[in-house]
Amino acid sequence: MSFNIIMRMISGKRCFGATVDAGDTEVARRFVELMKETLELSGMDPGDFLRVLRRVVDFKGREQRMVDVAKRSDVILQGMIDELRSRRKRSDNGREVESETMIDSMLLEGYLDDIIKGQILSMLSAGMDTSAVTIEWAMSLLLNHPDLMKKAQAELDDVVGRDRLANEADIHKLPCLQNIINEALRLFPPAPLLLPHESTEDCMISGFNVPRGTMILVNAWAIQRDAKVWDDPTSFIPKRYEGLEDDHAYRLLLFGMGRRSCPGAGLANRMVSLALAALIQCFEWEPIGEEPVDLSEGTGVTMPKREPLEALCKVRECMIANVLTRL
């Protein structure tokens, strides 16, 4: 879903779904796997900071994988750009078609193909996996707290009803759902280390001397679990955000702050909110087996679950009845 949304912004294409051409779907599947491998390889390597470790760690093997992934990605991205370029040149009256996508706009402005490919990779890496892992963590937490799942379901039934799905206009009317998402983001931020920054001047922070030009990595995961800042920081407590809905009363760090904050924060909130709302609104969920869902963290730049979520679901009876009534 997240890949489809980003790709429609970039190229105007849906890549997954019943009405999509099988060839496009196969290319998209390969590209999604490449993006996952890219994110895996983008995690920090000790050899990047302690060069002596490159003699011990299989750095060259990792480096070669990165080169190989880049080459295979480049082929798919170049094909995407070439397709849009040829489409722009085709029209009945000989004029270029109107700009509709990100690639169209960048071609119109005369950007080089390599710059366009870089922008595509930035949007996909920032917007695809981050939203998907957030939904997975939120569902995992709700399966371990069925009372909160029922509370969110009741809110959706009350605000949205059972004859339609939640839409963008409903998001701000669903505080329980938003609190659940905020708490999932606090406990399991999709970017546990924010993008690197660099100090522009010599400065002193909490007694530490930070020289100009120092790479600064903000550990959002640790800050958002700091007992000095949060009560009972390792527990899943969505109600902690009640009454802290706006302005400076409460802020999460995962999207950054100020003029360097994430420009996709609004899109991410809508994607996660609407997808999670649909999952809760349409289905009854149960964990597999008696044990709680494992919340162990995996490795990677977006911190996935160590074991992908598996759960049992069935369509809610009330949703079936409403669909049959409409038919």
Give per-residue pLDDT as tens, 225-273: 999 889 999 999 999 988 775 544 456 788 887 787 888 888 999 999 9
Residues 56 and 28 in one domain: yes
Residue 246 tokens, joined: 């706006």
Q: What does the pLDDT average to over 187-195? A: 89
Domain boundary among 104, 125, 146: 125
- Stretch 269-282: mean pLDDT: 95
The DSSP result for 56-113, as a single string, is TTTHHHHHHHHHHHHHHHHHHHHHHHHHHHHHHH--TTSSPPPP-SHHHHHHHTT--H
Same domain, residue pair 313 and 284: yes
SS3 147: helix
Same domain assignment for residues 70 and 183 = no
* H-state helical runs in the chain: 2-11, 22-41, 59-89, 102-108, 113-127, 129-143, 146-159, 175-187, 220-223, 265-282, 317-326
Report whether 225 contacts 254 (CB < 8 A): no
Pair 102, 140 in one domain: no
CATH code, domain carrying 253: 1.10.630.10
Same domain for 107 and 133, yes or no, is no
Contact 61, 70 (CB under 8 A): no
* 121 shares its domain with 133: no
Domain range for 36: 2-125
The reported pLDDT for the residue numbered 54 is 66
Looking at the structure of the chain, the number of domains it has is: 2
Q: Are residues 55 and 138 in the same domain?
A: no
Confidence of residue 324 (pLDDT cuts 50, 70, 90): low
Kindly provide the b/e burial profile for residues 131-168, where b requires at least 16 CB atoms within 10 angstroms of the residue's own CB.
Answer: bbbbbbbbbbbbbbbeebbebbbebbeeebeeeeebee
At residue 303 the predicted structure's pLDDT band, cuts being 50, 70 and 90, is confident
Last residue within a domain, chosen from 82, 99, 125 = 125
Query: How high is the pLDDT of residue 247?
Result: 43
- Say if residue 242 is in the same domain as residue 224: yes
Residues 194 and 90 in one domain: no
Q: What is the mean pLDDT of residues 173-193?
A: 93
pLDDT at 249: 42
DSSP three-state, residue 304: coil
Which pLDDT score is estimated for 254? Answer: 81
Q: What was the pLDDT predicted at 248? A: 41
Give me the helices (H) in 172-235, please. Answer: 175-187, 220-223
Among residues of the chain, what percentage have pLDDT more than 90?
Answer: 46
The mean pLDDT of the chain is 86
Asked if 245 and 174 sit in the same domain, the reply is: yes
End residue of a domain, out of 103, 125, 147 = 125
Distance set, CA 83 to CA 11, 78, 103, 104, 303 (Å): 9, 9, 10, 11, 34
* Stretch (H or E) spanning 198: strand 197-198
pLDDT greater than 80 at residue 88? no
Please, what is the angle between helix 113-127 and helix 59-89, to 10°?
A: 110
Mean pLDDT of 131-149: 96
Q: What number is the average pLDDT over the span 85-100?
A: 66
Do 91 and 108 sit in the same domain of this protein?
yes
Same-domain pairing of 267 and 321: yes
* Higher pLDDT, residue 222 or 63: 222
pLDDT tier for residue 29 given thresholds of 50, 70 and 90: confident
**Residue 284: what pLDDT?**
95
Q: Per mean pLDDT, which of 153-167, 195-209, 240-254 is the most reliable?
A: 153-167
Could you tell me which residue, 32 or 286, shows the higher pLDDT? 286
